[in-house]
Amino acid sequence: MKRAAWPRYLIGLLVVLLAIGAWRYWTLSPQQQSRPSSAAGPAITVRTGLVTRGDMPVYLNALGTVTSLATTTVKTQISGKITEIAFKEGQMVKAGDFLIQIDPSPYQTALNQAQGQLARDQAQLEASRVDLTRYEGLMKQDSIARQQVDTQRALVKQNEGTVRADEAAVAMAKINLDYARIVSPITGRVGLRLVDIGNYVQPSDQGGLVVVTQTEPISVIFSLPQDTIPQFLPKLRSGEKLTVEVYSRDGSKKLATGALDTVDNQIDTTTGTVKLRAMFANEDEQLFPNQFVNVKLIVDTLRDTTIVPSAAVLLGAPGTYAYVVKSDNTVTVRPVKVGPGNDSHTAILSGLEPGERVVIDGTDRLREGTAVRIAGEASGAKASESGGNQPPRGKQAK
């Protein structure tokens, strides 16, 4: 009897449990049945940005090196002892400015000697010419042999050659004396001096005296993939001015704005890239020779286009999409078609409208219908709209 009671007991218990479950289901309020599952948890804090309409530049990004257009190592062309250094390290100089004086006394003496030799030989030349004139007159009177006249004429030519050699020696002595006063060959900034007063220098010295580097204007050399050539080369050849912006190595500060100047005539086969040179006035000297910079070559500008912060554009199972915040502070997944973009913003061809708000941070915890709380919303509208809302170079959506 006891063994037969157990199955009946289990069946009765199962019936009771089913009855309790049915009662709870039918007594649950309609509001609770219709409430979204996302409301069971707290709202998720996210950061948002506005969809705007404006103009957006399209960049080609690269790493570049600031390169001086002229760098000259100043060397001596004569031997001697340095008696004066007229520049301060790091100062700006112009072409022709006095830099260094080498002891000129040996070269002044050589010049004086050459000038004395020239004066003596000029006197001999003049005397030989006078004799030639006299001999030619006597020959006409048949008072002197023609051979003597010819000999005198040869002596005059010999003295003329001697005078020309003396004049060359004087000119060379003047050049050497001028070389004793060393001037800057270009306009630029001088570096650290490589010699001191009292040093004996000569043309065979390897290091030079000082380095002068041109800094205004200055160039930036950078490379772009060969596949990007059609985006800029036709415009450059047609005479269109392509703007180039350079930023600090970490990208936090804009250093200068210039223009694309030229493109190299061949592609580097090892990297598949082509070199380009951009020119910058650099009047504020924000660009320093051999400095590494981030380069942005603006190849196009999209006019009056829909723009969102790039962080709002996601790629997943729905394709390319964005989370749009609705008026009830829940999000919906919106498929979008994207156009060109840059580091901070992306053009939207379809799927979003100006004025809509999209999630730019915190998307990893979202799904369709998730309730959200906008970060900084309690601090006011300005705080809630900060962080990636404005398009670059764009105008606010009307």
Instruction: Confirm if 106 and 83 have CB atoms less than 8 A apart.
Output: no
Q: Which residues have a Cβ under 8 Å from the Cβ of 50 and sit 6 or more positions away?
A: 355, 356, 357, 358, 385, 389, 397
pLDDT at 389 over 70: no
Instruction: Confirm if 83 and 102 have CB atoms less than 8 A apart.
Output: yes
Is there a single domain that holds both residue 95 and residue 189? Answer: yes
Handedness of CA 122, 128, 130, 136 (dihedral sign): negative
Is there a single domain that holds both residue 144 and residue 222? Answer: no
- 257-314 pLDDT, tens digit each: 999 999 999 999 999 999 999 999 999 999 999 999 999 999 998 899 999 999 999 9
**Structural domain count, the chain:** 4
Instruction: Confirm if 389 and 345 have CB atoms less than 8 A apart.
Output: no
3-state secondary structure of 355: coil
Residue 23 lies in a domain: no
Structure tokens at 236: 């450059």
Give the rounded percent of residues in the chain with a pLDDT score beyond 70: 84
CATH of the domain at 342: 2.40.420.20
Structure tokens at 259: 């223009």
Residue 163 lies in a domain: yes
Structural domain containing residue 245: 60-69+213-301
Is there a single domain that holds both residue 84 and residue 193? Answer: yes
CATH of the domain at 162: 1.10.287
Q: Final residue of a domain: which of 192, 209, 226? A: 209
| Confidence (pLDDT) at 17 | 67
d(CA 206, CA 199): 14
CATH of the domain at 245: 2.40.30.170
Is there a single domain that holds both residue 83 and residue 186? Answer: yes
Residue 1 lies in a domain: no
3-state secondary structure of 284: coil
CATH of the domain at 86: 2.40.50.100
Is there a single domain that holds both residue 195 and residue 96? Answer: yes
Q: Which residues have a Cβ under 8 Å from the Cβ of 257 and sit 6 or more positions away?
A: 243, 244, 245, 246, 280
Give the rounded percent of residues in the chain with a pLDDT score beyond 90: 70
Is there a single domain that holds both residue 96 and residue 185? Answer: yes
Amino acid code (one letter) for 291: Q
| Mean pLDDT in residue range 368-379 | 79
Is there a single domain that holds both residue 85 and residue 188? Answer: yes
pLDDT at 186 over 50: yes
| Confidence (pLDDT) at 143 | 77
Residue 266 lies in a domain: yes
| Mean pLDDT in residue range 222-226 | 97
Is there a single domain that holds both residue 204 and residue 278? Answer: no
| Mean pLDDT in residue range 246-253 | 92
Q: Final residue of a domain: which of 286, 301, 316? A: 301
3-state secondary structure of 189: strand
Residue 290 lies in a domain: yes
Is there a single domain that holds both residue 217 and residue 290? Answer: yes
Is there a single domain that holds both residue 259 and residue 366? Answer: no
- 335-345 pLDDT, tens digit each: 999 998 877 89
Is there a single domain that holds both residue 256 and residue 162? Answer: no
Structure tokens at 260: 């694309």
- Return the higher-pLDDT residue of 212 and 133: 212
Q: Final residue of a domain: which of 260, 277, 301? A: 301
Q: Cα-atom radius of gyration of the chain, to the nearest Å?
A: 44
Residue 12 lies in a domain: no
Calculate the alpha carbon distances from 31 to 21, 36, 41, 115, 257 in Å: 19, 10, 17, 117, 61
Instruction: Confirm if 212 and 93 have CB atoms less than 8 A apart.
Output: yes
Is there a single domain that holds both residue 97 and residue 189? Answer: yes
Instruction: Confirm if 67 and 287 have CB atoms less than 8 A apart.
Output: no
Residue 143 lies in a domain: yes
d(CA 105, CA 220): 45
Residue 261 lies in a domain: yes
| Average pLDDT of every residue of the chain | 87
d(CA 153, CA 114): 26
Q: Which helix (H) or strand (E) holds 74?
A: strand 71-74
